[in-house]
């Protein structure tokens, strides 16, 4: 069964900067979608900030297995109603792949519960992303490291919870390091944060970067696991007959 992917992008830099438009004439979302469409078993649609409901209607999200998110300058313009909607879908099993400056998006900070603050510098640093979890499916087909000749620097401390699994650690020319590939489990959903992708660099035309994003999509796709039932509406029914109880507390008496 195909994995249905929605690639979401602010699509603001490309409209306002000739430099960014020259690198991504079809938008950052277009470049990412083009790379994903080369993979078997993935269908791709795109959505952008200025569409009605940011392109993330109930119908779109219901048909999305994995949401890829890129944002930078307009995090505050994202409606809290849409953030609530996306969060619910993640907890219900939809995967989320957050890229680069999406670390400051409302949805990523909501799912992390932290500021997601970090150090940064835009000065044409070389980035070397070292694989630190070589058996993980996200790095299938990747060498020991990925090298990007020019990228924006992100540096520690990165204010995120301890990752459930750490996949990449980046080194930059200026000496900084950064946890650049982190995965989390939230409810029934899975989240992959992947660092590279500043808008003024052609990172999303890099085959290795696109391979990692594709692998992340495959990893984050929903599984056909159980749907937990919680005791919000009343006590849990026993699987076996309970012994008689003389406890006067009604919450402990067998029903």
Query: Does the pLDDT value for residue 248 go beyond 70?
Result: no
pLDDT at 237: 86
CATH number of 3-113+180-220: 3.40.50.880
> What are the angstrom distances between the C-alpha of 218 and each of 25, 48, 129, 134, 143?
27, 22, 20, 17, 19
Buried b (16+ CB within 10 A) or exposed e, 230-254: eeeeeeeeeeeeeeeeeeeeeeeee
pLDDT at 78: 98
Q: What is the pLDDT of residues 160-181, one digit of tens each?
A: 999 999 999 999 999 999 999 9
Q: What is the pLDDT of residues 115-144, one digit of tens each?
A: 999 999 999 999 999 999 999 999 999 999
pLDDT at 244: 85
pLDDT at 236: 87
Query: Does the pLDDT value for residue 251 go beyond 80?
Result: no
Nearest by Cα to 144 from 129, 125, 157: 129
Task: Sketch the domain layout of the chain as residue ranges.
Answer: 3-113+180-220
pTM of the model: 0.94
Residues near 224 by beta carbon (within 8 Å), at least 6 away in sequence:
none
Q: What is the pLDDT of residues 38-66, one digit of tens each?
A: 999 999 999 999 999 999 999 999 999 99
Q: Are strands 119-131 and 145-155 parallel, antiparallel or unpaired?
A: antiparallel
């Amino acid at each position: 069964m195909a994995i249905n992917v929605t690639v979401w992008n602010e699509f603001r830099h490309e409209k306002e900067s000739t430099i960014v438009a020259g690198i991504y004439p079809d938008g950052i979302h277009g470049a990412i979608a083009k790379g994903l469409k080369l993979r078997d078993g993935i269908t791709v649609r795109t959505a952008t900030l200025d569409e009605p409901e940011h392109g993330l209607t109930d119908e779109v999200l219901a048909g999305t297995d994995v949401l890829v998110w890129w944002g930078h300058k307009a995090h505050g313009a994202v409606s809290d109603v849409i953030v609530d909607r996306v969060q619910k879908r993640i907890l219900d099993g939809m995967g989320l792949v957050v890229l680069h400056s999406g670390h400051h998006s409302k949805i990523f900070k909501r799912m992390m519960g932290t500021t997601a603050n970090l150090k940064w510098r835009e000065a044409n640093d070389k980035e070397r992303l070292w694989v630190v979890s070589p058996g993980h499916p996200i790095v299938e087909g990747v060498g020991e490291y990925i090298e990007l000749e020019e990228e924006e620097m992100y540096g520690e401390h990165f204010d995120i919870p301890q990752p459930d699994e750490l996949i990449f650690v980046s080194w930059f020319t200026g000496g900084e390091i950064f946890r650049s590939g982190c995965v989390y489990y939230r409810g029934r959903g899975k989240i992959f944060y992947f660092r590279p992708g500043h808008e003024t660099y052609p990172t999303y035309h890099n085959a290795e970067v696109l391979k990692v994003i594709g692998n992340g999509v495959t990893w984050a796709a929903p599984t056909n696991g159980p749907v937990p039932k919680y005791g919000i509406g009343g006590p849990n029914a026993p699987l076996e007959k309970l012994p008689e109880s003389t406890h006067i507390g009604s919450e402990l008496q067998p029903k």
